[in-house]
Amino acid sequence: MPALNQAGARVRLVAINGNGGAFTVIRATTLCRRVEIIEDFSANAGVGQGIQYQVPNDGTTAGFTTTLSVAPQTEPIILQDTVAEARGRGAFIGNGPDASGGYALPATQIVNLRSASATGTVVRISEFS
């Protein structure tokens, strides 16, 4: 289970493929309203590779079709629903796996990721509820 940081987010590190490989599917581990993704420079001797990503609401019929790219960054990619509700908080964008009611719900696919270069890298994913 991912650890909680000081802001109460679940944080995990995920290795992702180089841009010649398949996208790594990132699924929620908890009920979340906001997800932050940033390259963790602990990989590749501190040399950032950049990130290519696909999101579900990219304007296409099925989603996860348009590939976006960011250079090695110092600011995170932030995924959230910005419509204010529930005392100023946005809507939930994902849930972790749930088998509590006699049936199994899979975890929500939040984003697809891979390195923007041929070299794989590591990303830090923070999920806020």
Q: Where are the domains of the chain?
A: 9-128
Contact 25, 108 (CB under 8 A): no
Is 70 exceeded by the pLDDT of residue 102? yes
Q: What are phi and psi of 71, to 5 degrees?
A: -70, 170
Partners of 65 in beta bridges: none
Question: What's the whole-model pTM score?
Answer: 0.86
Q: Is the dihedral of CA 9, 12, 18, 22 positive or negative?
A: negative
Q: Look at residue 86 and tell me whether its pLDDT is greater than 70.
A: no
Instruction: State residue 76's pLDDT score.
Output: 93
* Per-residue pLDDT, 25: 97
First-to-last alpha carbon distance for the chain, in angstroms, is 15
At the topology level of CATH, where does 9-128 sit? Answer: Jelly Rolls (2.60.120)
CA 125, CA 129: separation in Å to the nearest integer?
13
Tens-digit pLDDT profile for residues 13-65: 999 999 999 999 999 999 998 999 999 998 899 999 999 999 998 888 888 99
| Percent of the chain's residues with pLDDT above 70 | 88
CA 29 to chain CA centroid, Å, is 10
Sequence-ordered list of residues with C-beta below 8 angstroms from that of 80, at least 6 positions apart, any chain: 33, 34, 35, 90, 93
Mean model confidence pLDDT for the chain: 88
Residue 1 confidence (pLDDT): 53
* Mean pLDDT for the stretch of residues 107-121: 96
